[in-house]
Structure 1
Amino acid sequence: MPLPFLTADRALDAHEDGDGDEVLAHADPDRWRRPYRPGPWRVGGAALLLLLAAFMLFATMIIAFAGTWAGALVCLAAALCVIGSALRILMTGVWVSPSGLRRVSFLRTRSIAWDEITEVRTVQQPVRWLGLPRTVQGQALTAAGRGGAELPVLLTDHNADFLSRTEAFDRAADTVEAWAEEYRAVPA
């Protein structure tokens, strides 16, 4: 089963290897895509959750064979919640398409059309370390909305995708900025 959120920047790899004119035959130009790969912290956390879910499913089977169907259903529901959480963790991040920018967090997704964004840039500021309350000095990719609207920070170099991967953050930030420059409506 293909997992497009794990291979989001395959087109970027093709662009770096070739002259950039190749278009994948199956590529949908209006599809949302993440312009970077999920980082090792994000993938590792999701893998641990999936391992926990495997044990929970094994426990569900043992409980079902013991004849306690209510307990088996509760354990199955909990395992499915853990699997859903792991998949949501993998989907978390910034996604782009010709229609706009999408910021996916664990509990919420926010889409912003390109014409609502005036500027996308990288700034030095205090950022949260792995999404925890602790802040450190780092880089953040921010977007400014029309009319001075405050938009959430898109990416940081200390989140689960880019911790200790400065070059990957720089490539991802440059890619999102390039999408913004290409698709953002230029005021007349």
Structure 2
Amino acid sequence: MPLPFLTADRAFETADDLALPFDDRDRWRRPYRPGPWRVGVAALCLLLASFVLFAAVIIAFTASPPEAGVVFGIALAVIASSLRLLRMGVWVSARGLRQVRFLSTGTTPWDRIIAVRTAQQPVRWLGLPRTVQGQALILVRRDRSPQDAPVLLTTHNADFLARAGSFDRAADTIEAWAAENRRG
């Protein structure tokens, strides 16, 4: 019995970038893959955490245990930060749309959403203060004015920088979720 997930002999399909159809629509799903920038930064943070953990072990054997505990705590904070960085993004389920940020998470039920649409506008480059012209996926809610509409995804964030096709597929998927769930 061949195990295609363990071999590289299967052809790459563009549909691999999309979320697979699933039966349990109540589970929170991210309808796109994390981008290379996000994964790369998280990998570098985990590499840093491994060095800090190694330093904690050396300190534990050569110095006082409280100092090793402090360094171990720093390593745990770096690991938790990198895991949170990987969870950031837009998640959907039958209950609503969830935007996970680094320090906060906001969930909007589908009945409070008027539209999810793509717009051309200045967007932040990798979340930094610098703005460039790009596309943004905007969430229009019933309880806010359209000028206060939060930006869910952009073509220049850590998931979609230099991956316009992936942004289009993710935006289309999230818009389809919104259209389907607003109907009921």
TM range (shorter): 0.7 to 0.9
Q: Is contact 1:115-1:185 (8 Å) kept?
A: no
Deviating more after overlay: 81-90 vs 65-74: 65-74
Q: Is contact 1:114-1:185 (8 Å) kept?
A: no
Query: Is it true that 1:108 corresponds to 2:100 in the alignment?
Result: no
Gaps in structure 2 of 5+ consecutive residues? 1-14
Q: CA deviation at 1:12?
A: 3.4
Q: Is contact 1:100-1:113 (8 Å) kept?
A: yes
1:111-150 mapped onto 2 (5 Å cutoff): 111-149=107-145, 150=148
1:79-117, CA deviations, whole angstroms, 9 ceiling, x for partnerless residues? Answer: 000000000000000000011000000001000000100
CA–CA distance in structure 2, aligned partners of residues 52 and 33 of structure 1: 29
Q: Is contact 2:113-2:142 (8 Å) kept?
A: yes
Code of the aligned partner of 2:82: A
1:40-75, CA deviations, whole angstroms, 9 ceiling, x for partnerless residues? Answer: 000000000000000000000000011411110000
C-alpha spacing 1:48/1:159, structure 2 compared with 1 (3 Å): same
SS of match in other structure, 1:184 = helix
> Given the two structures, how large is their TM-score scaled by the length of structure 2?
0.86
1:30-45 mapped onto 2 (5 Å cutoff): 30-45=26-41
CA–CA distance in structure 1, aligned partners of residues 28 and 80 of structure 2: 20
Per the alignment, residue 151 of structure 1 pairs with 149
Per the alignment, residue 69 of structure 2 pairs with 73
Q: Is contact 2:19-2:30 (8 Å) kept?
A: no
CA–CA distance in structure 1, aligned partners of residues 150 and 87 of structure 2: 17
C-alpha spacing 1:94/1:185, structure 2 compared with 1 (3 Å): same
> Given the two structures, how large is their TM-score scaled by the length of structure 1?
0.85
Aligned residues: 168
Percent identity, please. 62
